[in-house]
Amino acid sequence: MKQILSTWPVLQTVFSFIAKFTLLLFFCVILTLLCGAIYLEMLFPRQIANPILLTFTAFAILVLAGFFTQNFFKNLSRYRPASKPANNKQNKVILVFLAFFLLMLASVWIYKDHIKPEALLARAEKQFEIVLRGEIPVESVRSTLVILQEEIERLRKQYKPSNTYDRITIYLYPNIVDFRSDTGQNDAHGAFSVLNDGSPLLFLVAEKARDSMKSNITTPTPSHEISHLVIYETLGAAAIEMFPRGIYEGLAVKDSLKGFQRFPERIFLRLDLMMSSVNTHDIKNFLVYGSPSESMRASQLYSTSYEFVEYLSSRYGDYLFTDIFRYMTDGNHFLIGFYRTVGLDFGEVYEEWVDRYFLERQLVE
């Protein structure tokens, strides 16, 4: 004990350095996340407790324990190291700040993992009707419903459809093998949505059960299909026929890949396109005329449509498609709505995108 107490000034210096370093690290992490979120247009409240902050939180807990240990030895020791009142006040401020931060983060976790999912589940049970196509754990069904409800509320707020479906039927499968065997879909599909006499049907593989440590590990498939349904709600049956399929798919991919946890998938999608040679004639047939070529892989169809939609959104703003939808609901074709919103011909903008993205990178055949 005497040996430990004799090294007290050193321990105090170490704890003080760790505390200052933790605060600096905290502000750097927060600033980096905010800048990245704003740049990538992916700022959502659910990203507060992402794995990066979880790492910092564990470090902050150790520092907080160190302060309590410091006070414990200080009270036992007869040796009172001389310290300025300002230093004691600074230590108390740091201690209060760390305690407040941990309390705030605990409140976020409780809301995110218990209060919010239960509220979403209660609303999802009114919105969706589940038809189980196999043995699926209850927690997986609940997780899938929570994800679907969260996404449909977000996308309806984004697109603001005037008419919404009162009830959506979900055919839920335990795995991709049963899904393909029952629906007859090929390897390029993991889900699909259709209308049966005006009633929406969604065929989907159940998500894995979510917990506090893996709450971000989900697939983008539910968001993709919900995006299709919400856009259909917004435009209606007549207008959807005048909507290019390439833009339709690109918007769904863009909607499903938002968020910090989707950053790796966005990177892989772009790398797949950059590392492959494509035919601009096939791309134009898909994006402008809605006729995909059999020579294009499914991943190329999704990646090219995503890149084009991202280009349009970054150049003309996120509200571009919302403005175009207003013209389409009045009976205008997408190309007319695009021209009235942007003031340019859709084909000209497409050719400009091809020149910038493909020809400059020499990615065409």
The model's pLDDT over 26-68, given as tens digits with 9 standing for 90+, comes to 666 666 655 554 444 343 333 334 444 555 555 656 666 666 6
More confident residue, 65 or 155: 155
Domain boundary among 37, 61, 82: 82
Same domain flag for 34 and 78: yes
Q: Is residue 6 part of a domain?
A: yes
Strand duo 168-173 + 128-132: pairing:
parallel
In this structure, of 24-38, 134-148, 215-229, the range with the lowest mean pLDDT score is 24-38
- pTM for the predicted model, two decimal places: 0.68
Same domain flag for 273 and 363: yes
Same domain flag for 291 and 193: no
Amino acid at 246: G
Q: Is residue 317 part of a domain?
A: yes
Domain boundary among 82, 104, 131: 82
Same domain flag for 143 and 63: no
Q: Is residue 100 part of a domain?
A: no
Q: Residues 296-314: what's their mean pLDDT? A: 84
More confident residue, 213 or 218: 218
Amino acid at 101: F
Percent of the chain with pLDDT over 90: 12
Same domain flag for 128 and 46: no
Q: How confident is the model at residue 187 (pLDDT cuts 50, 70, 90)?
A: low
Same domain flag for 134 and 184: yes
In this structure, of 220-229, 234-243, 308-317, the range with the lowest mean pLDDT score is 234-243
Q: Residues 237-249: what's their mean pLDDT? A: 85
Q: Residues 283-295: what's their mean pLDDT? A: 75
More confident residue, 284 or 341: 341
pLDDT attached to residue 217:
55
Tell me the average pLDDT of the chain: 75
- Is 144 a residue whose pLDDT tops 60? yes
Q: Is residue 206 part of a domain?
A: yes
Q: How confident is the model at residue 87 (pLDDT cuts 50, 70, 90)?
A: low
pLDDT attached to residue 109:
67
Same domain flag for 264 and 336: yes
Q: Is residue 104 part of a domain?
A: no
Same domain flag for 248 and 337: yes
Distance from CA of residue 327 to its chain's centroid?
29
Q: How confident is the model at residue 361 (pLDDT cuts 50, 70, 90)?
A: very low
pLDDT attached to residue 131:
93
- CATH code of 202's domain: 3.30.2010
Domain range enclosing 293:
242-365
**Distance in angstroms (rounded) separating the CA atoms of residues 346 and 350:** 6
Same domain flag for 207 and 183: yes
Q: How confident is the model at residue 215 (pLDDT cuts 50, 70, 90)?
A: very low
- Is 1 a residue whose pLDDT tops 80? no
Same domain flag for 288 and 334: yes
pLDDT attached to residue 172:
92
Q: Is residue 91 part of a domain?
A: no
**Distance in angstroms (rounded) separating the CA atoms of residues 158 and 246:** 20
Q: Which of 176-180, 195-199, 360-364 has the highest mean pLDDT?
A: 176-180
In this structure, of 63-67, 135-139, 200-204, 321-325, the range with the lowest mean pLDDT score is 63-67
Q: Into how many domains does the chain fold? A: 3
Same domain flag for 163 and 183: yes
pLDDT attached to residue 56:
56
Q: Is residue 228 part of a domain?
A: yes
Q: Is residue 87 part of a domain?
A: no
**Distance in angstroms (rounded) separating the CA atoms of residues 273 and 301:** 9
**Distance in angstroms (rounded) separating the CA atoms of residues 73 and 182:** 68
Domain boundary among 174, 203, 233: 233
Same domain flag for 276 and 342: yes
